[in-house]
Structure formats: C-alpha cells, structure tokens
Structure 1
Amino acid sequence: MQKNYPRREFIKKSALAGAGVTIGAMGLSAKSYAAIPGANERLNLAVIGIHGQGQTHINNWCSLKSSRNIRVKTLCDADEQWFDSRAKIVVDKTGEKPLTEWDMRKVFDDKEIDAVSIAMPNHWHALGAIWACQAGKHVYVEKPASHDVWEGRKMIEAARKYNRRMQVGFQNRSISNVMEAMKFLHNGGIGDVFMARGLCIKPRDSFGIAKDSAPPATLHYDRWLGPATYRPYNEKKGHYNWHWFWDTGNGDTGNQGPHQFDIARWGLNKNEHPVSVYSHGGVYGIDPKECAQETPNTQTSIFKYEDGKMLEFETRGRYSNAESSLDIRIGNMFYGTEGYLELNGSTWKAFRRREEKPFAGSQKSADVKKPVDPLTPPGGTEHYANFIDAIRSDHNNDLHCDINEGFFSSSLPLLANISYRLSRELKFMGGSRDNEKFVNDAEADAMLTRVYRPPYVVPNEV
C-alpha cells in the first residue's frame, strides 16, 4: 500500500494540539468550536463496510456533521447492493450525496479522506486498518479490534509508526454512567475487586443451510473474502452469518461479547493479558444437519491474572433467565472484598456486603444535573465524537479507547476461542509484545495468527 499522508496537516497546527484537551471537555458552543484554528477545516470520512453495523456508523457520523464539522464523503462496500439505500441516509441527513466505491484501495488513495470508519467483517479489521494507516488515514474500527491476537498487535504497530489515531468501537468507554461506575470500582467502592463477570445472553435461532452457489452480481466476492481461506460462495455463510464461521468471525463470544469483556477488564483495572484461560461449551438446541454453524452458541470462559484475580464470561445463545437484581442479559457484575456491583447498560448499583439495598449507583445521582457537552448530540454518538476530538487534538491519550486498550480487551474472547477449539486449559505469557505466546504450546501458538490468502496478507513489518 502506498504511503500517502493527509491533505493539509491542519490537525497538528490547531490550538487544541497545544492545549492537549478534547472539545467536549471544554464545553464549547458550536460557534466557539468553529472559531478554533483548524476546526474550520472540514474533516472528510469514509465508511468501509456499510451493511449491518456499518449503517449505525453512517447515521452517527451524519449526526456529527455540524457539531464536529465533518463530511461523509465516501461509502465503500464489497457488495454494491447497499449503495443506493445507504447513500440516501447521507443525503437525507446532511444534504450531500456521498461517493460510492467497492474497492477500499481507491478510498485509501483519495488524499481528501482524513479518516476511515471500518465496519467490515472481523477478518478484515486488521488489514483494512493497517492499509489505512499506511495511507495516512486515522481509523475508527469496530470490535473486536482484530480477528486474531497477532494481527491486533500489528494494528498497534501501524498506528504508532504512522502516528494515526485508532479508536476501537467499545462505546461503553464514552458512556458517562459506565465511566462513573469504573471510577467507583477503581477508588475502592466495593473494596479490592477480585472477580469480574460478563454476560452475553442472546438467544439465536438456526439460520438454516444452503448449497454453494454463484455469488450475487453485486458482490465482489474475492474482495469480500479477502484474507480468509478460499471457500465457494454460500449465502448462509455471507452477510451477518459470517459471525458463526471461524475463518471470518468469532462467534457471539467474539461478537457481542467484546463489549462486556472490555468492561470486565476495565473494572478489574488490568492493562495486561491473563496468564491462563479455560473455555468450553458447544452448539446446543440446533440440529447440525439444519445449520452449518461452527462457533458455539453456549460457552463458559474463565481467565486468571498473574495476581490471582479472575474474569468469568458466560455466552448463552439459547433460552435463559437473566441474572442479578438488574435482570442482566448483556452486562457485568463485579465482586470485591467489601461488596459487589451490578452494571446493566448505563445503570449500575453497588451493594455493601450482605445488605439488600444498594448504597451507591447511577440511580442515586439521577436527580443531580451534570454538565452537558453542547457539541455532542444524543443517541450514542459520544464515542464517535471522541474520535474526532482526538484527531483534532493530535493526542492518543484523548481517545477513550485507543487501539492498545481495544487490543487487550479483544484478545480475551480470541484466547477463549483458542481454548474452546483445543478443548483444554491454556497457559499464556503476555508480559510484552515479544512474549504474546502460550507456554510451551506450539499448537495453541499457531492459532494466535492465521494463514493469509495472497494478496490479502498482514505483513510482519507494517
């Protein structure tokens, strides 16, 4: 990939670069924001992968048009069938018609594009992000950050080498109540937190089975398949269903799960890999003759850190009760020496020892009026806005989920899936980037990366 750098390095020249703070934290009005040197320079974005979660990306970026002075210039997808409907969203929301392109390399070659928003299938995240950095683009990338552990490390190397901001889509990092709960835990609110638990209770029915066939005329199948091992096109292994096949996805433990893995690790305050992992489960309640799913729909994973602290994760893809007093299905619990905390979405409650009523939580402060960022529209755009603010400030530390954070959280479900596939407990060495291997286990080490299909290869040297 040719190394092109963005048009006009206005970001480094802005007043915010010197201040080292984010726009939202400054509490500026849209008029005041526009007066900042550099802020008047519009930021051009491209969304790569516009089906499914990509549509969410489009809506959020369009909502930030005025408050963050951005433009969705290009929509890119290997399947052209989405072009008209997604372009209409941009036109309706911003009044501007975006370009459409199926070849992401042409997007990277466009010197007017400052940043890309990646919502492609998991197996494309790393290579797409690395190519973008090499072309001088900043990157917002969906979770999990990468499809395997090794290529996640390469994403960090690329972001640092080319000095690009790279934000991972763990949106909870930008939700005020979640941030408040994490601060409460880190400040000893329930004593020493020794265990975190994450839940992904998301019942899913069989998606059926089909014979291999010719791909639709709108789909550039070789490009869609990208780094994955070649396989004939099959409609049941394509759009969205790619999540349930190892070459392209990571199951629900690596789909919905990464959000709650991130919160669990965040609450434990662990900026490191675990030293052991054991994961087991299977596909239950679905006839394998009627569904080709490879990944488990029910999975239990247990991690231990060097100091003995634990992280448990439960994936349930069939019928199930919720857990805790908050009826958590997608959420977290934390256990400390003086009590426990429940977190469901942005609602949290903390209980002291055996007491039945919470003594702290988001509901306790519901009547307190908190400062509102006048530049951030409602509707979950805070994490996207933070990415733009960090581009303008030119500081990785302003990102709520820099690629380094996203990498450690994404690695947890990836390690769990290796243990599941090998049907045994694994010992892991994660002290440094040169030590991200299993203990005397070549079979497990081989699963930290993949055999890439040329020319879609993540290079050793980015």
Structure 2
Amino acid sequence: MHTPTRRSFLRQTALATTALSASRVLGANDKIRIASIGLGGQGSGNAGRMAKVPGVEIAYLCDADTVALDKAKLKYPNAKTTQDMRKVMEDPTIDAVVVSTGNHWHVLASIWACQAGKDVYVEKPVSHNIWEGRKLVEAARKYNRIVQGGTQQRSDPFHDELKAYLDSGELGKIKYVRCNHYGQRASIGKRETPLAPPTHVDYNLWLGPAQDIPIMRERLQYDWHWVWNTGNGELGNWGPHILDDLRSVVFRDKIALPKRVLAGGGRLGWNDAGETPNTHFIYFDTGDIPVVMDVHNLPRKAGMKASDVYLRRRTSAFMIIECENGYYEGGRGGGSAHDASGKVVKKFKGDGGGTHAANFISAIRSRKKEDLKGEIEKIHYSSAWCHLGNISYRLGQAGDLDQAKAALKEFEPWQEMLSDEPAHLTANDITLKAGDIKVGKMLEIDAAKETFIGDSATPEALALLKREYRAGFEVPDMV
C-alpha cells in the first residue's frame, strides 16, 4: 500500500484547492478556452473540431515537440504555447484540455487537469492500462469534472436507430458478434543502435510516465503505438472504437467487462523493433452474447494496397452481429441489415460522430456528466476490453494455430476465424514456423474489482493490470 509523504499530501491538498478555485462559472454566452495537449495528426484534428464549436477558443497549445508546436501556432496565432503541460494546468484562464498525446500520457495528463479544475476530452484508449483508467474515473468523480472519451461514434445518431431495429426482432435473437479491424501497416524497422531523440523534442517531457528504455525503431513519433512501453498496438488503437460500439449497441453498457478473455497471434513477416501483434485474434466471454475479434495489419495480398476482408461475409466491416434471421454489418458512419440470404433489408446512415466535440462543450456548460455521450467510465470499460486482449496475448506461450483452435474446440466462430488465418498469411508470402504464433491463456475476470481471479491471478498477469511509472510522473494511488 502506498503511503503518501507529507510533501505529496500537501501537493494534493493544494491541487484540490486549486481545482475548486480554478473552475470558472460559465454562462451560456461565455467563451470556453481550450488547451490542446499533443498536436500530432489526431491532436491537430481534435483542435480543429473543437475550434468549430461556437463559443470555443483554442487558447493554449502544448507539445513536447516544437516542430508540431510551431505548425499548430500558424493555425492558432493567438494561442499561448509551451512544451510542458504543467504550465497549462497552472493557467486559471483555461477551462478545459484536449489530451491527444501518446497513450502513456493519457491518464496522468487528464488527472492533472481534473486536479487543476479543468474539464477533459481524452483520446482513446483513455488509458495505457486498466488500473490507471480507474484512477482517471476516480479523479473525474472527486473533482466533479466533465470528462469525455474520444470515441466519436458515441455521438452518431444512427446508433439509436440501430438499437431500435435490433430490439424490433426483425433479425431475431443475436447469436454472436464478430468484430474486425483490417488496417494496413508496415514494418517500423530495427536499428543496430538506439535512436537519438530529435533535438526539437524535449525527450523527458515526451516520455513522461513511460520508462526510459532504448528506442530501436527508426522514428520516434507515431510508431510508439507498436511498443508496450508507450502504446497498446492495433487492438488499443482501433479496438476502443469497435469494442465501444459493441458495448453501446449490443450490450447497452450493461456489461462492463467480459467474464473471460482469450487471445493469440503474432508479429509476422516484419522482423522489426515492434512488439505488438500485427495478427491478433481474441475471444470475449460475456456470460451472454459471445464475441470474437480479428485484427490484421497485413494487406489482402503481398504488394496489394487493399485491406483484408472477412471471408464469410466478404466484408471489412468493423462489427458483424449474427442473428437468427440474418445479420448486421457496419462501421463508422453506418451499416446495413441483411436477411438470411444476404439480401440488404435496411440501410443505416450516420455522420461518424461529427457532433462529439459539441457534445463535450455542451456538457461543460450544463455541468451534467449525464449529458456526455462518451462519459469517461463508459470509455474506460471499452478501453479495458482492449487491455485484456493484450494481456492474454502477452502472457501467451509459443505455439501454433492448432493449439489456438484447441482452446475453444466447441465454439464454431472461433474455429472459423482461425481457419481463415493460413490463407491470409499465405497471400502475404508468410510461412509459419514453430513458435511464430503465441497462444494466450484464458483469463478469468472479476468485473467489479477489475482484476483477475482463480488460476488467472498470477503475479505476471496482475502486474500487467498496471505499470511501473518513471519518477516524477507517477499516476497517484490516491487521486
């Protein structure tokens, strides 16, 4: 158990006092001043979406990389700039922050903002691990902050239409759900000597909570996604969107976490410095409707600029809801319902969640967390599903597809998913060798306590619910 020192106690007390005094009472016509923290592709996009909401000003720009900072300054010339987000937190004129940093920074930056009396919009996954995600929820509650997760599709109006259609019984009872993400990536390379951080990056601030370990890839930025120290792989990149759709549309947020999770896969064909799988398959036992998920970063065929497809339905849709009388397939912005023969019987058209930023600003004004479409606890759970799939994979042992199949012999969707893998790999000129595939262990989860139970509660598994934080950048036990 962590015991706060007198110094840390006084700091927390001061922050709590700051939070109470820093919150401006905003009238309907008052301008909301936003700080954008993290200004890469997604961060710049988020700033632009916020700036389009009436009554919003991008007033502060923050990034450890001065190249990104200078580029953003051209768009928002009146905004203050800093490489150190702590200066943002100290500014009482800032009402809210948008956190679009690397995953390893998401929670600490958001907690600091809550403690400083600022509301938060935080990119997905909202956490780097499950334990710290819960700490962010605790901070939002303690400091009474409006905290929105960056899963924009929560604000897509077509989701309500789809829920009503599923409830109508036209497709019959849901049998299982197949989730997919087939997005192309490439090797990130492997250096013989560690990468020297660019001189325009304050590397201490870029690292923040992450460990200072040698970087053996070719680029510092973006490719942090594919190492566990700073990222969560493709499952943590696109998975929060897809699994949040699943939790919202299929389970109506009634299932926080699955009861059991099993995963496997490998990083195949690249021989690079990446650690996360480019071929990842996962099973989620919800105690109700079973879910399987397939994640590929390889193309449909070597040399082809086209993503893979789910062979049974000939689609790359994010979510296929298999029902007694047909199925639904769809992704961001819409989808279609099909009868048992495959004929389209209804189409759904959405906007991809274009009002998500406006929803955040509206909730800031109302001070009602219930007004948020992506309230932080909901998105914490959706992110946690991804972390669980990654943990099962990371605990896996070298094996093969037959061993993976044997883990769920009687579940046909699992067998079908794994049976498609050899053709996909062959199309990418990959011949599996013994041990190329990791087969994870089935993890049993106590959803209420957000931990593992039974034989799953090994020291190795429990350790992956959290992480070791770098000195000076610790996510606190007591927020």
Quick check: 1:362 aligned with 2:348?
yes
Q: Which position in structure 2 is the counterpart of 1:400?
A: 373
Partner secondary structure for residue 216 of structure 1: coil
Counterparts of 2:93 and 2:157, CA distance in 1 = 33
Say which SS state the counterpart of residue 409 (structure 1) adopts.
helix
Tell me if the contact between 1:272 and 1:430 (Cα under 8 Å) persists in the aligned partners: no
Return 249-258 or 110-119, whichever deviates more.
Answer: 249-258
Name the % identity.
37
Q: Of 197, 201, 206, which residue of structure 1 is paired with 2:178?
A: 197
Equivalence for 1:459: 476
Change (3 A) 1:351 1:381: closer
1:324 deviation in Å? Answer: 7.3
User: Structure 1 unaligned runs (5+)?
Assistant: 12-37, 92-96, 367-377
Alpha-carbon distance between aligned partners in 2 of 1:112 and 1:301, rounded to the nearest angstrom? 45
**Are the counterparts in 2 of residues 45 and 115 from structure 1 also a CA contact under 8 Å?**
yes
1:110 alignment counterpart: 91
2:210 is the counterpart of 1:228: yes
Of 447, 452, 468, the match for 1:431 = 447
Match of 2:262 in 1: 278
Q: TM-score, structure 1 length as denominator?
A: 0.84
User: Are 1:140 and 2:105 matched, yes or no?
Assistant: no
What amino acid does structure 1 have at the position aligned with 2:392? S
Contact 1:326 1:344 in 2 (8 A): no
CA contact 1:137–1:164 (8 Å) conserved in 2: yes
Whole-Å separation in 1 of the counterparts to 2:358 and 2:367: 14
Shift of 1:394: 1.0
Find 2:106's aligned residue among 118, 125, 133: 125
Give the counterpart letter for 1:273 in structure 2. Answer: L
CA distance in 1, matches of 2:23, 2:143: 16
Matching of residue 83 in structure 1 with residue 69 in structure 2? yes
Shift of 1:234: 5.4
Q: Which residue in 2 is equivalent to 1:319?
A: 299
**Comparing 131-140 with 235-244, which one deviates more in the overlay?**
235-244
Deviation at 1:446, TM superposition (A): 1.2
Partner-residue secondary structure (3-state), 1:123: helix
Q: Report how far residue 380 of structure 1 moved.
A: 5.6
**1:435 Cα deviation (Å)?**
4.8
> Quick one: which of 124, 136, 156 aligns to 1:155?
136
Matched letter for residue 69 of structure 2: F
1:372-391 equivalences in 2 (<5 Å): 381-391=354-364
Alignment of 1:297-336 (within 5 A): 297-307=278-288, 309-320=289-300, 321-323=308-310, 328-329=315-316, 331-336=318-323
Contact residue 156 and residue 352 of structure 2 kept, 8 A: no
Mapped to 2, the partners of 1:234 and 1:427 lie a distance apart of 31
Of the three residues 372, 385, 405, the one matched with 1:412 is 385
User: SS of the residue aligned with 1:217?
Assistant: coil
RMSD of Structure 2 on Structure 1 (CA): 2.1
1:185 pairs with one of 156, 166, 169: 166
C-alpha distance in structure 1 between counterparts of 2:189 and 2:148, whole Å: 35
Contact 1:271 1:405 in 2 (8 A): no
Distance 1:70 1:229 in 2: 36
SS of match in other structure, 1:195: strand
Secondary structure of 1:129's partner? helix
Code of the aligned partner of 2:37: I
Letter in 2 for 1:338: N
Alignment gaps of 5+ in structure 2:
1-10, 301-307, 397-439
For residues 80-135 of structure 1, the C-alpha deviation after alignment (integer angstroms, 9 at most, x for no partner) is: 111221111224xxxxx211111101100100111000000001111111111111
5 Å matches for 1:44-63? Answer: 44-63=33-52
Q: Note the C-alpha offset of 1:332.
A: 1.0
Equivalent residue, structure 2, for 1:18: none
Where 1:405 maps in the other structure, the secondary structure is helix
- Give aligned pairs, total: 409
User: Aligned-pair distance for 1:400?
Assistant: 0.5
Q: Does 1:170 align with 2:151?
A: yes
- Deviation per CA, 1:344-400: give whole Å up to 9, x if none: 332221123x2432222226xx9xxxxxxxxxxx89641111000111111111100
User: What are the superposed Cα offsets for residues 273-292 of structure 1, whole Å, 9 maximum, x if unpaired?
Assistant: 10111110101221x2xx21
Report the equivalent of 1:94: none
Q: Distance between the aligned counterparts of 2:38 and 2:283, measured in 1?
A: 33
- Are the counterparts in 1 of residues 263 and 393 from structure 2 also a CA contact under 8 Å? yes
